[in-house]
Structure formats: structure tokens, C-alpha cells
Amino acid sequence: MKILLDTLGADKGYEVVVEGGLKALENHPKLEITFIGVEEDINKVKTEFKDSKRISIIDTAEFISNDEEPALAIRRRKNSSMHLGFKKLNEEEYDGFMSCGSTGALLAGATLITKRLDKISRGALTVVMPSKTGYVLLVDAGANMDCSKELLCQFAIMGNVYSKEVLGNKNPRIGLLSVGAEDNKGDSLRKETFGLLKEMDLNFIGNIEGRDALTGDVDVIVSDGFSGNVLLKSIEGTAILLTDILKDSINSSFRNKLGALLMKPALYSLKNSLDYNEVGAAPLLGVKKAVFKAHGSSNARAIEKGIDKLIQFVEKDVIKKIEKNL
């Protein structure tokens, strides 16, 4: 398997991206990675990796920033790491592409260069979140701010396939993110989408409120990108707040520190379940090749785990299964 890894645009710098890629190479003996970025910098990090035949580099220092207009930038910045990555991805030898860079540019590049699947209007950013009983899939998590009812139904189909094939849910429960659990709750878009989803060959269980997103009552949450991203960032912020409060409470007294020592395994388990770095990266569903978005603040562990998810996505042949379901 051969993938492309964009080392530019990450908040923590190129080093963590390269380090995560090298760890993935150690974990997967048949994996080959083409790093995209400043060749001199990448070579500094990869010096200790012995099997250099499995590594190649596309040299560039140019990348698309978050404040640029995505579609315009992906068209004009032809020497940017993201544009070069998508151009290479279209070659048959490459199986996937992952980047920590601009979400908008990633969506634009996947749409304009890699191209969408037939019958798919737009790609959707798909995030796996921890829940009380395992994991829940959020589609869309921020790629499409404005959506039609038909587009939300496409998200439901793609999320259903991903939940089955990658997360192992035999009959995924699909929920529509709304402001109330009752059938008649929500704006006109939610109400119209509700009616369509009810008629589809899916295990649609109805509306779901934000407070119930992580209870384990659903396996897939369908949303427009605006609402989905607000939900995602709210959950991230809450997890960080709770972790900080817990740390302050533990450090406030010797008795609390002693208690924390006894609870260390449980506390680590809680930390890992709330840490987005353990999830890795999110696939952009609806395009013709495996395109994954890693969090801008990813560390090396997140990159490593994201590549694991990308490999699983390719090996499970998720794209062809989505096409079949469409």
C-alpha cells in the first residue's frame, strides 16, 4: 500500500507528522509513504529509519493556509503541498492521502482534482467520536456549511456503510441531529430530511439532540457541516475543561493525589477515551480515493492512528461499497 502524507500546515510543525508517519511504517511492513514538504527538513527527522526504500519525498515549502479562499487557492497554488498531493493521488499506484492542513482546501482539492463519486453532490467530513457504548460517527463534521435534504440523505448512506465496514456495526442506528427528539422538531430542512430518511432502507431511529450524541443510542449522526462542527468543537472543549478541572482537583491536596494514584488505570482510560489524538483522522467520504483529514493540532500519535484508519479504509474497500449502496 502506498500513501501520501502532507507534512505542511500542522499546528505543531512538520516534525510530528513525519514522526507519526515513521511509526506507521514500523507498524505496517508493506506500507510505503511519500512525504510532501521541505525535503531537507524531512530528511532531518527520518535519519534513524533504516528501510529508506519505503520512503519518498515531494519537495515543496508552499502550503495553503486556513485564511485563504479554498477553491481559489487549490486552483492557483499548484506547487502547494495539498495540490501536489491530490495530483499524485490520481495516479494508480497511490491508495490514499492525509493532511493536517486547511479543511476547506482539502474538500476543494478532493472535489476538483480527485473528483466525487457518481450520485454524490459533495464530500462529507466524517469524525469518529467516543460514546458510552463504543463509538459514534458524525457526518458531516464541518465540510459543508449549507446542505439540502438530498445531501443529508447521501451523508446517511455513506455513514451507514462506513459504520458497518470500519466500525463493525451490523445494522447501524442512524440519527438526525436536531433541537428535539420528537418527530416534528427542527427547522424546515430537518423536517423534510426526516421524512426522506424514514422512507429509505436504513435503520433510521429519528431525531437526536446534542446532549444525547455520546450516550450510545445511535451509531451515526447525520448533520449539516455547520451544526456538526459546533457539536464536535463543543464536545472537544468540554473534554478539555473536565480534564483540567480533574487535574486541579487532584493537585489540590495530598489525599486527592493518593486517591488518584490508586485510580491511575481508570484515569488513563478516561483520558484516552476523550483524546482526539487516539482517534487519529477523519475520512472525507464521497470522493474517488481515500482522503483523510487529521486535526490541525495532531501529535505524532494522532498521525500514526490516522494512517491506521486510512489503511483499514482502503483494505475494507469502503469506496466501492459506498458506490454499490448508492
Q: What is the pTM of this model?
A: 0.84
Do the Cβ atoms of 65 and 72 come closer than 8 Å? Answer: no
What does the pLDDT read at residue 247?
84
- CATH number of the domain at 128-275, please? 3.40.718.10
| CA gap 77, 83 in Å, rounded | 7
- CATH number of the domain at 1-120+286-326, please? 3.40.718.10
What does the pLDDT read at residue 59?
97
- Domain regions of the chain by residue span: 1-120+286-326, 128-275
Q: For residue range 173-222, what is the model confidence (pLDDT) as tens digits?
A: 999 999 998 998 999 999 999 999 999 999 999 999 999 999 999 999 99
| 317 has pLDDT over 60 | yes
What does the pLDDT read at residue 275?
57
Residue of 278, 274, 317, 309 lying closest to 293 (CA atoms): 309
For residue 117, the 8-state DSSP code is P
Do the Cβ atoms of 249 and 256 come closer than 8 Å? Answer: yes
Q: For residue range 112-125, what is the model confidence (pLDDT) as tens digits?
A: 999 999 888 888 99
pLDDT class of 53 with cuts at 50, 70, 90: confident
Cell of 77: 497554488
Q: What percent of the chain has pLDDT over 70?
A: 95
What does the pLDDT read at residue 248?
86
| 274 has pLDDT over 80 | no
| CA gap 280, 299 in Å, rounded | 9
CA-CA-CA-CA torsion sign (28, 124, 115, 321):
positive
What does the pLDDT read at residue 324?
85
Report the greatest alpha carbon distance in the chain. 62
Question: Which one is predicted more confidently, 172 or 232?
Answer: 172
What does the pLDDT read at residue 149?
95
What does the pLDDT read at residue 269?
62
| 245 has pLDDT over 80 | yes
